[in-house]
Amino acid sequence: MDIVDRFIKYARIDTQSDENSTQTPSTQKQFNLAKEVEKEALEMGLTDVSLDNNCYLMATLPANTKRDVPVIGFIAHFDTSPDMSGANVNPRIVKAYDGKDIQLNEANRVVLSSADFPELLHHVGEDLIVTDGNTLLGADDKAGIAEIMNAMQYLIDHPEVEHGNIRIAFTPDEEIGRGADHFDVEKFAAQWAYTMDGSEVGELEYENFNAASAKIGIQGRNVHPGYAKGKMINALHVANELIALLPAEERPEHTEGYEGFFHLIGLSGTVDEAKVSYIIRDHDRAMFESRKLLMTETVERLNARYENRITLELKDQYYNMKEQVEPVMHVVDYAYRAMEAVGVKPNIKPIRGGTDGARLSFMGLPCPNIFAGGMNFHGRYEFLPVPSLRKASEVIVKIAELVAKEA
């Protein structure tokens, strides 16, 4: 099966995760794709194929060499983002993109334009897979699944390419931050792995944010406004004070590269009670701790003013995988050289977010992130250049080959 057909087949299967669900997987429909991929893995002859009750699928491509080669792994995720519908995805291919606007949905006037998305112009002349303007595409991360499965089929069909045991895994609920929750690192039994979950062709990432969430509860004191002097404590105004005390220039819309931020993601309430939610991000661990301290001190400052009516729940979410990957930088070097070998210019850059690989790295499985090729994830303007899809699969094959040659 051609990799494009494989991706389109996966993209049509709705696997949207649900952040409000407490079960794993968060949506049972993720099993629909998992069972299809399980079937394909068995048909192509992979071994140790297992799909567990939490929707984690693992399999092995057995080594075709007697040499002692490290066991490596490749990982992608089944689910698509809750940000936009993943139902009734209807991909289409724009042949030899000419640089002009792409009409995604004429009835709803949805246009994919280089004026809004300049990265389109990096792919003039290439075939692009786009949406019909009503849903996301799902290249995050069904492109990754297609690339891994295509690479396994290629290695089976080309036994002249020497490789060791290769482990593959596909996980649920990455988009809601739970992709590594039930990942069995011991069962996976790889020395290191790569998530195929990056974006633009050439991306190679082994640094991500340190991440925390902050949930603030504010208990006001509501009395009739006509008789409120000296009595009322308006929870909404206290929430506004909290927001104003944090540095405005350190919001996501003002930061880039290695710069961290405080991101207000929720604000609700009444005079009597309010809730404020933040996420806190920074690549530097010391700066990350300083940001958490500032949040704590800000709440304490307001508590001193408002009779201890404010609560703070501060929770670490994940850490910068750089701490775990730097001691084994050869795993990044293999990916870098593999990209160069297949004609891709590597672009090492920090992730302004997190991946399953970050948590897996701290669970004992060093796990840099490699491009999957898609762009504009999580929305109707998502697109996937076909050459990028193919190159990502070639990189997987080349990594396996390099590791075996240098064993």
Q: Assess contact for 211 and 318: CB atoms under 8 A.
A: yes
- Digit-by-digit pLDDT tens for the chain (407 residues) are 999 999 999 999 999 999 899 999 999 999 999 999 999 999 999 999 999 999 999 999 999 999 999 999 999 999 999 999 999 999 999 999 999 999 999 999 999 999 999 999 999 999 999 999 999 999 999 999 999 999 999 999 999 999 999 999 999 999 998 999 999 999 999 999 999 999 999 999 999 999 999 999 999 999 999 999 999 999 999 999 999 999 999 999 999 999 999 999 999 999 999 999 999 999 999 999 999 999 999 999 999 999 999 999 999 989 999 999 999 999 999 999 999 999 999 999 999 887 889 999 999 999 999 999 999 999 999 999 999 999 999 999 999 999 999 98
pTM of this structure? 0.90
Q: Active-site residue numbers?
A: 79, 174
Residue pair 188/365 in contact (Cβ under 8 Å)? The answer is yes
What letters, b where the CB count within 10 A reaches 16 and e where it falls short, cover 233-269?
A: bbbbebbeebbeebeeebebeebeeebbbbbbeebeb
CATH class of the domain whose range is 3-207+321-405 = alpha beta
Domain positions in the chain are: 3-207+321-405, 210-318
Report the top-level CATH class of 210-318.
alpha beta
Ramachandran angles phi, psi of 25, nearest 5°? -70, 160
For 310, what's the count of Cα atoms within 13 Å in the CB-facing half-sphere? 29
Distances (CA, A) of 90 to 94, 229, 304, 305: 13, 59, 56, 55
